Structure 1
Amino acid sequence: MAPTAVSPHSFTRSVLAHLSSDTTQLPYSPSHPSQTTTAASLDSSLNAPPATSDDLVQTVATIDTEIQAIKAQVYKKLLANYGAFSEAFEYTLEIKDKIDDLLEQADSMASRTTDPENGLRQTVMSALVEHHEISHRVQENNRIMEGLEHFSRVGDILSQYEAFMDSGKILEAGHCIQQAAKTLAHPPNAGVASSHITRSLTDQCARMTEAIDQMLDDLIANAIHYQHPTDDNNTQFKLTISYDIKVPPLALPRSSMNSAPGSIRWHALIRALTLLDVAREKLRPLQKFLIRHVLQPLIEHHNDAVILIDNSTNYASATGTSLSLEQDPGHGSGDLFRDVLSVFEFIHRNIFLNDYSSPEFNAEEFSSDTEILTHFLGRNIAKEACAMISKSYLSQAVPSDINGLQDFASIALAATHLEDELIALGFLTEADRELREFVENIDIHYTNNKRDTLLKQGRAVIMSEDFKTIQVKDLDKDDDLEKESDGWGRIADTDTDVKESCISLKAKQLVDMILSTLHEAGSLSENASPHLYNATCSLIDLYRALMPVHHARTLTNVPALAILFYNDCMYIARELEKVPARLEDGIPGMDEVQYDDSIPALKTLAKKWLDIQVQKQREELMESIDGAGEFRDCSVDNNFDACERSMKQVVLVFKHLGKAWKSTLSPMTFYKVLGQLLNEVSKRVIKELEELNDISEKESHKLATLCGLLFECEDQFDSAGPLVEAAKGDAYDDEDPIYFFVPTWQKFQLLADILELSFAEIMTRFRAGQLHMFEEGELSDLICAIFADTPLRKHNLEEIEQGHPVALSHHAH
Structure 2
Amino acid sequence: MDPLFDRINVRDLLSGHDLSDPSTPLSTPDLRLIISRLESHSLHIKSKVRSYLLSHREDFASLFSQCNDAVFKTSEISDNVSGILSLISDRPIDVEIRKLVDEIGRTTKEAREKREMLGLLKIIVGICERLEGARSAFSDGRLRFSAEEVKELKKALRIGDEEEGEPIVYGLLRKQWADLFDEMQDLFSKFMENAVRFEQDSRTIRVKYKLCVDKMDGIELHTVMEAMDVAGILDYSLAKAADLIIKHAITPAVSYGSPAMFAEDVNQGSEGISEAVLKILPSQDCKIVDVDGDAIYARVIQVIKFIFKHICFENGSWIRSFGRLTWPRISDIIISKFLSKVVPEDASKLVDFQKIVKCTSEFEFSLKEMMFLSASDGKDYRLSSFSENVEVHFAFRKKTEVLGKARNLLLQCDFSVPQDYTSKGPLLKNDGMAINSSNQVVDLIFSSKRCVVSKAASQLMELVHQTLQDVCLSSARVAWEFYHAVRDAILLYEAVIPVKLERQLDGINQVAILMYNDCLFLSQEILGLAFEYRTDFPDSIKEHAVFADMAPRFHLMAEEILQRQIQIVIFNLREVIDGADGFQNTHQMQQFESAKFSIDQAVFILEKVHIIWESLLRPSTYKRSMCMVLESVFSRITKDILLLDDLAAEETLQLQRLIHMMLDNLSSLLKSLISAFDSNEKSEEDTSRPIDDLIPSLRKIRKLGELLDMPLKSITSAWESGELMSCGFTILELKDFIRAIFADSTLRKECIWRIENVTL
Alpha-carbon separation, structure 2, partners of 1:169 and 1:147 = 29
Q: Which residue of 1 aligns with 2:386?
A: 438
The Cα of 1:668 is off from its aligned counterpart by 1.8
2:389 is aligned with 1:423:
no
The 5-angstrom pairing of residues 303-702 of structure 1 reads 303-310=258-265, 318-326=273-281, 331=286, 334=289, 335-354=295-314, 370-398=315-343, 405=350, 408-428=353-373, 429-464=377-412, 466-470=414-418, 483-485=429-431, 499-585=449-535, 587-588=537-538, 589-591=540-542, 593-702=545-654
Q: Which residue of 2 aligns with 1:92?
A: 64
Tell me the amino acid that sits aligned with residue 655 of structure 2.
Answer: L
Q: Which residue of 1 aligns with 2:207?
A: 241
Alpha-carbon separation, structure 1, partners of 2:484 and 2:57 = 124
Alpha-carbon separation, structure 2, partners of 1:745 and 1:162 = 105
Larger CA deviation: 288-297 vs 503-512 = 288-297
Q: Which residue of 2 aligns with 1:746?
A: 699
Alpha-carbon separation, structure 1, partners of 2:124 and 2:328 = 47
Q: CA 1:234/1:403 → structure 2, altered by over 3 Å: closer, same or farther?
A: farther
The Cα of 1:346 is off from its aligned counterpart by 2.3
Which of 76, 79, 83 lines up with 1:104 in the alignment?
Answer: 76
The Cα of 1:386 is off from its aligned counterpart by 0.5
Larger CA deviation: 240-249 vs 633-642 = 240-249
Cα displacement string for residues 433-452 of structure 1 (whole angstroms, at most 9, x for unaligned residues): 22222223333333433344
CA RMSD in angstroms comes to: 5.5
Alpha-carbon separation, structure 1, partners of 2:467 and 2:119 = 83
Tell me the amino acid that sits aligned with residue 523 of structure 1.
Answer: L
Tell me the amino acid that sits aligned with residue 392 of structure 2.
Answer: I
Which of 197, 201, 205 lines up with 1:226 in the alignment?
Answer: 197
Alpha-carbon separation, structure 1, partners of 2:391 and 2:698 = 63
Larger CA deviation: 320-329 vs 673-682 = 320-329
**1:280–1:376 Cα contact (<8 Å) kept:** yes
**1:766–1:804 Cα contact (<8 Å) kept:** no
Q: CA 1:304/1:388 → structure 2, altered by over 3 Å: closer, same or farther?
A: closer
Larger Rg: 1
2:674 is aligned with 1:714:
no
Which of 250, 274, 281 lines up with 1:295 in the alignment?
Answer: 250
Tell me the amino acid that sits aligned with residue 524 of structure 1.
Answer: S
Structure 1: runs of 5 or more not aligned:
1-74, 187-192, 251-260, 355-369, 806-813
The Cα of 1:331 is off from its aligned counterpart by 4.2
**2:429–2:450 Cα contact (<8 Å) kept:** no
Cα displacement string for residues 36-55 of structure 1 (whole angstroms, at most 9, x for unaligned residues): xxxxxxxxxxxxxxxxxxxx
Cα displacement string for residues 144-188 of structure 1 (whole angstroms, at most 9, x for unaligned residues): 9999999999999999999999998754665466567767989xx
**1:313–1:350 Cα contact (<8 Å) kept:** no
The Cα of 1:690 is off from its aligned counterpart by 1.8
Cα displacement string for residues 414-466 of structure 1 (whole angstroms, at most 9, x for unaligned residues): 43432333233332243322222222333333343334434443333333362
Alpha-carbon separation, structure 2, partners of 1:451 and 1:724 = 46
**2:361–2:384 Cα contact (<8 Å) kept:** yes
Alpha-carbon separation, structure 2, partners of 1:627 and 1:249 = 95
Alpha-carbon separation, structure 1, partners of 2:592 and 2:643 = 17
The 3-state SS of whatever aligns with 2:196 is strand
Tell me the amino acid that sits aligned with residue 227 of structure 1.
Answer: F
The Cα of 1:387 is off from its aligned counterpart by 1.7
**2:147–2:228 Cα contact (<8 Å) kept:** no
**1:630–1:688 Cα contact (<8 Å) kept:** yes
Tell me the amino acid that sits aligned with residue 390 of structure 2.
Answer: I
The 3-state SS of whatever aligns with 1:353 is coil
The Cα of 1:752 is off from its aligned counterpart by 1.9
The 3-state SS of whatever aligns with 1:467 is coil
* TM-score, length basis structure 1: 0.68
The Cα of 1:798 is off from its aligned counterpart by 3.7
The Cα of 1:100 is off from its aligned counterpart by 2.0
Alpha-carbon separation, structure 1, partners of 2:550 and 2:739 = 58
Q: CA 1:397/1:172 → structure 2, altered by over 3 Å: closer, same or farther?
A: same
The Cα of 1:293 is off from its aligned counterpart by 3.4
**2:260–2:280 Cα contact (<8 Å) kept:** yes
The Cα of 1:679 is off from its aligned counterpart by 1.0
**1:679–1:742 Cα contact (<8 Å) kept:** yes
**1:471–1:502 Cα contact (<8 Å) kept:** no
**2:442–2:453 Cα contact (<8 Å) kept:** no
**2:130–2:149 Cα contact (<8 Å) kept:** yes
Alpha-carbon separation, structure 1, partners of 2:442 and 2:286 = 65
Cα displacement string for residues 61-104 of structure 1 (whole angstroms, at most 9, x for unaligned residues): xxxxxxxxxxxxxx999999996789857853553245424643
Alpha-carbon separation, structure 1, partners of 2:252 and 2:96 = 93
Tell me the amino acid that sits aligned with residue 467 of structure 1.
Answer: F
Aligned residues: 684
Q: Which residue of 1 aligns with 2:437?
A: none
The 3-state SS of whatever aligns with 1:323 is strand
The 5-angstrom pairing of residues 168-247 of structure 1 reads 171=144, 174-175=147-148, 220=192, 224-229=195-200, 233-235=201-203, 238-243=204-209
The Cα of 1:122 is off from its aligned counterpart by 12
Alpha-carbon separation, structure 1, partners of 2:601 and 2:309 = 91
Q: CA 1:790/1:285 → structure 2, altered by over 3 Å: closer, same or farther?
A: closer
Q: Which residue of 2 aligns with 1:809?
A: none
Q: CA 1:683/1:666 → structure 2, altered by over 3 Å: closer, same or farther?
A: same
**2:429–2:448 Cα contact (<8 Å) kept:** no
The 3-state SS of whatever aligns with 1:522 is helix
Q: CA 1:398/1:709 → structure 2, altered by over 3 Å: closer, same or farther?
A: farther
**1:242–1:319 Cα contact (<8 Å) kept:** yes
The 3-state SS of whatever aligns with 2:644 is coil
Alpha-carbon separation, structure 2, partners of 1:638 and 1:203 = 97
Q: CA 1:101/1:748 → structure 2, altered by over 3 Å: closer, same or farther?
A: closer
Percent identity between matched residues is 22
Alpha-carbon separation, structure 1, partners of 2:734 and 2:151 = 115
**1:621–1:653 Cα contact (<8 Å) kept:** yes
The Cα of 1:691 is off from its aligned counterpart by 1.9
Cα displacement string for residues 630-659 of structure 1 (whole angstroms, at most 9, x for unaligned residues): 233333344333333332332232222212
The Cα of 1:113 is off from its aligned counterpart by 11
**1:714–1:738 Cα contact (<8 Å) kept:** no
Alpha-carbon separation, structure 2, partners of 1:804 and 1:101 = 148
**1:246–1:262 Cα contact (<8 Å) kept:** yes
Cα displacement string for residues 730-782 of structure 1 (whole angstroms, at most 9, x for unaligned residues): 998976x4224422212222222222434454455445443322233333433
Q: CA 1:671/1:352 → structure 2, altered by over 3 Å: closer, same or farther?
A: same
**2:508–2:569 Cα contact (<8 Å) kept:** no
